[in-house]
Amino acid sequence: MKKKIELEGYEVDCIFKKNKQSKGIKITLKNSHNFLVTYPWFVSRRKAESFFIENKNWVLKNLENLKSNKKHNLLGWGNRKDYLRNKELARILVKERVMELNQFYNFAVNKIAIRDQKTRWGSCSSKNNLNFNYRILFLPDDLVDYLVVHELCHLAEMNHSKNFWELVAQQIPDYRFKSKKLKNL
Ligand SMILES: [Zn+2]
């Protein structure tokens, strides 16, 4: 059963689930506003609910942690409006960088698409199409170039093999550092 519970101004969704195997009441954080509370057969839902509220400090602390993590994750940032607003600028930037950085490799590039993806910065298809996340617009120049070179090299190597990274290194010798920097954003 799902229930909205207010904790000091925060409204959280709580799913209460009876579990035959469980020996005590357990709270699990599912995502930013969802908690799962499992409780054993001998405990009433009302009791599980008051347990959840009694542990509000733990709950609120976890919520805070999750929110501050989100704030620093550029991939999770932005809505449809932000995408539409920035898409064309991102396309201009990417096209320009692809043209310049591909002078070195001379790979055949088909289409370049700008997408709104929450989990990846770019991808490359077997039809030689390159896709980039519009949020590339908000990255520092060195990371823009790293991403463009990364996707360009997938035109030659559709994997992350040794050969692939050797190709990347020809233009971005410190690609390891760049890749780490991007992951930490
Ligand atoms: Zn890759």
Which one of 20, 48, 72 terminates a domain?
72
Is 61 found in the same domain as 82? Answer: no
**H or E element that contains 38:** strand 34-39
Same domain, 46 and 87: no
> What is the Å distance from ligand 1's center to 32 Cα?
29
Per-residue pLDDT, averaged over 62-72, amounts to 63
Please provide the DSSP assignment of 48-72 as one string.
HHHHHHHTHHHHHHHHHHHHHHHHT
Predicted confidence (pLDDT) per residue in 115-129, tens digit? 998 889 999 998 999
Q: Are residues 81 and 154 in the same domain?
A: yes
pLDDT tens string 2-58: 888 887 777 788 899 998 888 889 888 776 567 889 999 888 999 999 988 888 888
Structural domain of 26:
2-72
Q: Mean pLDDT of all residues in the chain?
A: 88
Residue 92 Cα to ligand 1 middle (Å): 22
pLDDT of residue 72: 56
Tokens of 131: 């896709």
* 151 Cα: distance to centroid of ligand 1 (angstroms): 6
Distance of CA 112 from the midpoint of ligand 1 (Å): 16
Q: What is the predicted pLDDT for the residue at 108?
A: 96
| 7 CA → ligand 1 middle, Å | 43
Q: Is the pTM of this model over 0.75?
A: no
d(CA 162, CA 106): 20
User: How many structural domains are present in the chain?
Assistant: 2
164 and 179: one domain?
A: yes
57 and 117 in a common domain: no
